[in-house]
Amino acid sequence: MAEINKKSLEHLADLARLELHEKESDKFLKDLSEILGHFKELETLNTDGVQPMTGGTELRNILREDEILDDRLGPDNVVDSFPEKEGRHLKVPPVF
């Protein structure tokens, strides 16, 4: 098991697309070490040969036709719920 230090925390924040200010990162470092410390109890538990439970359901292959099921989510609703728009066009900041 591992520890998180200031540098690895910065890397994780970067991967998660977050910026942490100084005070926040000090607090997180303390909190996360405590939480990871708690996880250490799992090391004592033998899980050899246990099949991982990978979801909340044992259902398998729930397939359906790739079709529009209803018009609940019409294009107008989607455009309306977008933060900025001009007419029917979605507007985003010039970052691309």
Partner 1 sequence: MTHLHDLTIKKFHEGLLKKEFSAFDITKEFFDYIESKDKEIGAYLNLAKDQALKQAELADIAVAKNEPVSPLAGVPMAIKDNILIEGLPATAASKILENYTAAYDAAVIAKLKSAGAVFLGKTNLDEFAMGSSTENSAFKKTRNPRDLERVPGGSSGGSAAAVAANMAVASLGSDTGGSIRQPASFCGVVGLKPTYGAVSRHGLMAMASSLDQIGPFTKTVEDAAILFRAIAGQDRHDATSAAPPAGKYGEELLSPKLEDIQKMTVGVPSEYFIEGLSPEVSRAVDDAMNALKSLKIQFKPISLPHTKYALSCYYIIMPAEVSANLARFDGIRYSEIGGRKKAKNLLDLYKKTRSQGFGAEVKRRIILGTFVLSSGYYDAYYSKAQKVRRLIKQDFDSAFKEVDVILTPVAPTPPFKFGEKIDDPLAMYLSDIFTIPVNLAGLPAISIPARKEGLPVGFQLIGKPWRESDILGIGQYYEKIFNF
Residues near partner 1 (CB under 8 A): 1-2, 4, 9, 12-13, 15-20, 24, 27-28, 31-32, 34-35, 38-39, 41-42, 45, 47, 50-57, 59, 62, 64, 69, 72-73, 77-78, 80-84, 92-93, 95-96
- Residue 25 CB, nearest distance to partner 1 (Å)? 10
90: which strand partners? 85
- Residue 6 CB, nearest distance to partner 1 (Å)? 13
Q: Does residue 44 sit in helix, strand or coil?
A: helix
Using CA atoms, how far apart are residues 57 and 48, in angstroms rounded to an integer? 22
